[in-house]
Amino acid sequence: MTTPDTLVVGLVSISDRASTGIYEDKGIPALQEWLGSALTTPWRAETRLIADDRPGIEATLIELVDDCGCHLVLTTGGTGPAPRDVTPEATLAVADKEMPGFGEEMRRISLNFVPTAILSRQVAVIRKQALIVNLPGQPKSIRETLEGVRAADGSVRHVGIFAAIPYCIDLIGGPYAETDPQVIQAFRPKSALRPR
């Protein structure tokens, strides 16, 4: 059941092969599992599995924000340099504002693991009341990007991008989302914190 306090999250997996059933999509399940462990306040997902097709990606993002009322849309796939990788172009085409810090930080996190992270073209934007973020395609990379880099003892060595997402949603008029600090500590200025 959705209430005004429920965070509505669009989860979009963009893959020609997964969308036609050639192989199983792993992006949406990875996102659902991670959000289920990270969020401690009510949320629900709108999921879409679509092809690497720019008009289709644009239409899906518009539908999720304008018609479904998503506060956050996370996409996975289609951000590399290959000719069929058009997720960033589609995302920018539907944007009201670009949020370049997210893309910069996602690449910086991924560079802890692979030098090819510099080939990623992930972007993040605001459309109306929603933040749209392009994530990497692999489940392990999705988790690392959202959650951050941990040392061998489990301590956080490099904070993931999700730490900034709840406050961004606050600023654009969405519900107050809280997280499990064992997974990711949402950061807000003291003036923006609400009593638990």
Where does the chain have alpha helices with state H?
Answer: 16-19, 27-38, 54-62, 87-93, 100-110, 139-147, 165-171
Flag whether 100 is in a domain.
yes
Going by the DSSP 8-state scheme, the letter that residue 136 receives in this structure is: P
Please name which of 38, 5, 43 lies closest in space to residue 194, comparing C-alpha atoms: 5
Q: What is the pLDDT of residues 56-81, one digit of tens each?
A: 999 999 999 999 999 999 999 999 99
Radius of gyration of the chain (CA): 16
Flag whether 1 is in a domain.
no
Going by the DSSP 8-state scheme, the letter that residue 41 receives in this structure is: S
Flag whether 29 is in a domain.
yes
Give the distance from CA 60 to its chain's centroid: 15
Please name which of 103, 104, 160, 159 lies closest in space to residue 131, comparing C-alpha atoms: 103
Q: What is the pLDDT of residues 104-118, one digit of tens each?
A: 999 999 999 999 999
CATH code: domain of residue 170 = 3.40.980.10
Q: Which domain holds residue 178?
A: 7-192
Flag whether 43 is in a domain.
yes
pTM confidence score:
0.95
Flag whether 17 is in a domain.
yes
- Domains in the chain, number: 1
